[in-house]
Amino acid sequence: MGHLVLFVVALFNLKSASSELFQSSDPCFCHSLGELHSCECTEKSVDVFNNVHIHGLLTKLLKKDCLRYYKTDMEKDCPFWQSNRYCTSRECGIENCDDEVPIAFKYTKYQVQDAYRSSRCDESNEIDPLDKTITAGQRRKLEKWTEHDERLDVYCDVEDESSEKLHYVDLVRNPERYTGYKGNSAQRVWKCIYEENCFKPDPKFDKEYLIYPNIRGMCSEKRMFYRIISGLHTSISISIAANSYKPAPGGMGEGEWFRNVDMFKYRFDPKYTNNEGPERLKNLYFVFLLEMRALQKISPYLHHTLFYTGNDEEDMDTMDDIKRLVDKIDAFGSTFSESKLFRGTGLKTRILKEEFRLHFLNISRIMDCVDCDKCRLWGKLQTHGIGTALKILFADLPSAQSGTSPKKRFQLQRNDVVALFNSIGRFSSSIREVAEFQKLLQSS
């Protein structure tokens, strides 16, 4: 355990005072090629930024109606093997809450847009008004065109929000925590993710991209892919360790929830992980910074209709809080430079980008193979959130100041936004829990 204590203490004693965090013009510029500890954006500065400046605001936002309800198909079959969907713990289960969501959630996105506009806009020309109606057939054609365009940029298995198979789940009432799900089924899922979907170095294809002449020599895009999966695995592991369950003695009565220091130690102590534990923790920070950058980039496109609940007062408060969050991210500085990736327009670059997209899309589908309902819910949501972040980062979006229009309108559904914000929330909570485990390790 001494190795982990020393590492975690070092993690939080890197030079970066909280008072200096928002003063530098570019305090946190980490391109994807670099290790986190070699950038100005150190673990300590990320820790202060998250724990002091944004975690509380994120927690408040994620309790709001517009972000706490996620719509998903929990009965979708596993596309890779026969799934039992059986878990011995009552903590595995979830309940749908379709009757509890705001009435506005039951509108189509077009109805929401119309309702929002009609409540705030007056008709400017009463003599010969613009006819904005379209027939049902025309709308179906438009939706098919949109679906075709969106499929080209999809990094995760995005479900059709209008499908009757999808139901709302209250994420606040179904938190990510220990459920007792383990054994061969859980191991099979992670093995499939790591071994069947990871990129492998290809000397013929990668020779122009290789950075290091050793077994770890993969192009930056492929190394980023691995770090994303590792960071997701780390975040989930920390959530489970931070919210473990101890049954009551003799199985009588309610048990208790506690932080499982031993579980944290066995997942991240260099002694027990063949020195991989510290890298896993760095990958946690890496994905958090990636999602922060995505939120920063998409902020000009976060319009009111994506958060519309029908409660004008709460909706205005939500937009104010989102603006505060984005302002804090802007003040923190650049956290990720996606322009370093997939450079050029050549065939190899296009093939690499498509391969990257399809690999992550496949991983999002593997989450339907998780037997535990609650674990499957959070696995689907977080891969959806990361996939949304990747879609944003690699989309050709004009800057807010450019005054130009994109080649095609950038599309985000309400569910995409819910997934992105909640995925950021999970990584934010995991980073905060690392600090809590540090205290427990130092006192033991």
**372 among known catalytic residues:** yes
Nearest to 208 by CA among 347, 338, 348: 348
- Hey, what are 210's tokens? 């290789």
CB 132 within 8 A of CB 123: no
Q: Which of 30, 92, 219, 375 is catalytic?
A: 375
**Binding site annotation covers 345?**
no
Q: Which residue matches tokens 């459920």?
A: 179
| Whether 66 is catalytic | no
Closest C-alpha to 370, from 71, 166, 80: 80
According to the annotation, is 337 in a ligand binding site? no
d(CA 327, CA 49): 12
Nearest to 338 by CA among 285, 289, 280, 284: 289
Q: Is 267 labeled as ligand-binding?
A: yes
Q: Is 166 exposed, middle or buried (0-12, 13-18, 19+ CB in 10 A)?
A: buried
d(CA 338, CA 316): 32
Determine the Cα–Cα distance for residues 156 and 167; give it in Å rounded to an integer: 19
Is 177 part of any known ligand binding site? yes
* Residue 90 annotated as binding site: no
Contact by Cβ (8 Å): 242, 436: yes
* Nearest to 157, CA basis, from 356, 367, 354: 367
CB 14 within 8 A of CB 44: yes
What phi, psi does 395 have (nearest 5°)?
A: -85, 150
Q: Please report how the helices 277-298 and 312-332 are oriented relative to each other, as an axis angle in degrees rounded to 10.
A: 120
Contact 366, 162 (CB under 8 A): no
Does the annotation flag 384 for ligand binding?
A: no
What positions carry a catalytic annotation?
Answer: 372, 375
User: Binding site membership: which residues?
Assistant: 177, 179, 190, 230, 233, 267
Return binding residues for FAD: 177, 179, 190, 230, 233, 267
